[in-house]
Amino acid sequence: MGSLGDHAGGGNTRVIAGRYRLEARLGRGGMGLVWRATDLLLGRQVAVKELARDEALSDAEAEQQRERTLREARAVAQLRHPHVIVVHDVVVQDEHPYIVMELIEGGSLAGRLARGGPLDAHEVARMGIDLLGALSTAHEAGILHRDLKPANVLLERATGRFVLTDFGIAQLSGATTLTEVGSFVGSPEYTAPERMAGERTGPGSDLWSLGALLVTALAGESPFRRDSIGGVLHAVVYDDIRPPAAAAPLLPVVLGLLDRDPRRRLDAAQAEALLRAYVATGRMPDAPRERPGAVPPRHSVLPGRAGGPGRPGRPKRGGYASAGWELPPAALAGGRPGGRQGRAALIAAALAAAVTGAGVSAALLVGRDGDGARAPSSSTASPTPTVTVTDRSPGPSSPEAPQGYRIAEDPGGFALAVPETFRREPDGPGVSYVSPDGTYRIGIRQTGRVPGGPLAAQRRADAEGPRNHPGYREGRVTETTRNGRPAALWEFTRDGFAEGGKGGGDADGRRTFDLCWEEDGRTVDVWVSAPVADAAQARRYFDAAVDTFVRR
């Protein structure tokens, strides 16, 4: 959620929600203003992020973004980890959303690096351990950060605690996006190549960003910093990755996290083990050469140099730290081999998206505000991102389908976006759209009004969960809204089994996201279920379904 700015500003005596008195501006970024405030009810200091309205959006688009942001903020508020920002409250006043968070005295990592230069390797290793714990907690809850960068890491002055912030709100602003909403979100210098390619992403993409962040903290700037957005994209998806000499103490974990092939990239547990070993001994053990199911490493020299593309090359002077990696075919858009031409096409697509994105400037694309301060913005899970621009021409009441989705005009009197390959199946009193292998299931049910409304209905369902769902656990109900209407989000895990006898079982159980709201005198339930291991992708399908659902 919001990050604490590094510059104090003027005072303000506004009181929002009848409770939070805004007193001093702490910072301004692409997402809006961050205030120091007092919680008048509990008598404590808090930080309040006042989210800005993107004027390029229509009223309907702005409403949709606000609803998604508030829903994601409430989801993040359920996370409990000492290195994840605590979200106390989410309020709306005069149609402006505000996120109320714990106040971290000390500023951001970006400010620390700007004022004092790079950190020592021991402190960077400790930071990596803290952030890996925060990311693992979020990933287990099905939440991807997707914008890990120095501006979104806070350093508490009194304790030295690193805190990860700004989950879930990058889509409110074009300040750090390559294109408009639904296409690409994030800061290119810290964005994994598979996200640039528009491929399916998961927790590994956040780990790539952490690898780039570790290098930045050690060397003072991103390993992918270039003078133009085109240069940044080229560096991320094509150039040899050459960590600077300052990264040498943590080199195995840096190289392991910055593997362009997600199948070979270090996972969180491996990276944490390496960093803990360094903190304990002052030496970094070698990274595991292979992971179960990983493809063998494939190194090369720069195209055109001795050894030739695709042939093993001898490390240049400087040893392992200067050995280059070639982008494997699997990391290209669509997974197609293509060598130089494929990479060039990917970069061209990304550049086209960057140029076409309305109201986006190159300065903001590389993560800077107009005054030179890094923009503190971020994102969460959303429909699969892409660096191409989608041509949309919807009717006045038609939802828009993200790329890779289609609009299902259901005979039950509604429409919503579902992945192109999902098929419709009757499901008791409702209907489901199911992936070909049965792994994912999107369910829709419409009934009459229920006693007590959506919140009471979801609380009853949660209470009855152990009776209706074998192995019911981790259930929680969150009050929220949907298009201004009262709604309730129910999340839970149950034992895994093959739904409908057609696959989709999972030894770790299945995770369900279920939003209930009232509309036109009816109660609407939209839910998505998937194996726990695929919860992040399920959450993207869920967001797409909820955001595009319309009654006919």
Residue 383's contacts (CB-CB under 8 Å, 6 or more residues apart) are 182, 402, 403, 404, 405, 417, 540, 541, 543, 544
How many Cα atoms are found within 13 Å in the side-chain-facing hemisphere of 183? 22
Task: DSSP letter for 346, please.
Answer: H
β-bridge mates for residue 482, sequence order: 485
Integer CA distances (angstroms), 159 to 104, 125, 163, 328, 361, in order:
10, 16, 11, 42, 38
Nearest to residue 411, comparing CAs of 421, 401, 394, 424?
A: 424
Phi and psi, residue 335, nearest 5°: 75, 15
Q: How far apart are CA 208 and CA 183, in angstroms?
A: 20
3-state helix, strand, coil in the chain (%, to 5): 30, 25, 45
- On whether the CB atoms of residues 169 and 31 are closer than 8 A, the answer is yes
Q: How far apart are CA 66 and CA 51, in angstroms?
A: 9
Helices (H), 220-250: 229-237
Buried b (16+ CB within 10 A) or exposed e, 317-346: eeeebebbbbbbebbbbeeeeeeeebbeeb
∠ CA 244-344-181, rounded to 5°: 90
**CB atoms near residue 38 (< 10 Å):** 18
Q: Which amino acid is at 216?
A: T
Task: Give the distance, in angstroms, between the CA of residue 60 and the centroid of all CA atoms in the same chain.
Answer: 23
Q: Which amino acid is at 179?
A: T
Residue 177: enclosing H or E segment and its boundaries? Answer: none
Q: Which amino acid is at 485?
A: R
The reply to whether 147 belongs to the active site is: yes
Catalytic residue among 6, 130, 147, 462: 147
Residue 221's contacts (CB-CB under 8 Å, 6 or more residues apart) are none
Token look-up 């150039």 returns: 239
Residue 435's contacts (CB-CB under 8 Å, 6 or more residues apart) are 419, 421, 422, 441, 504
Q: Which amino acid is at 508?
A: D
* Residues belonging to the active site: 147
